[in-house]
Amino acid sequence: MQLLSTDTTNASLHPTNTVADLNPVDYKVWAVMQEKVYNTKIANVYELCDRIVNAWEELDQRVINAAVRQWRSRLYALVCLLGVDAFNIFCD
């Protein structure tokens, strides 16, 4: 419940929009899954859920490994962009 009571409007919790680029699921894994999930029209929410689960189960581990390998360079780029303070935000 702590998560629900956290003030997410606090700007210090979201230093820039580039923080979203650090999430490997956002930029690589989900892109691959989207191709499988949305390749044809979806009839209802139950079918959507089934497709997401199936896409996850069929996801090649190499895709996940590649996304994780890219994460370090994305973090480094963010630290270079924002300075040392960015390191303190993520490595407290």
Write out pLDDT tens, residues 5-24. Answer: 444 444 444 444 555 556 65
Query: Which helix (H) or strand (E) is 10 found in, with range?
Result: none
pLDDT at 15: 45
Q: Which of 92, 81, 86, 79 is CA-nearest to residue 14? A: 86
pLDDT at 50: 97
pLDDT at 91: 58
pTM of the model: 0.56
- Ranges under pLDDT 70 in the chain: 1-26, 84-92
Which residues lie below 8 Å from residue 76, measured CB to CB, with a gap of 6+?
none
pLDDT at 45: 96
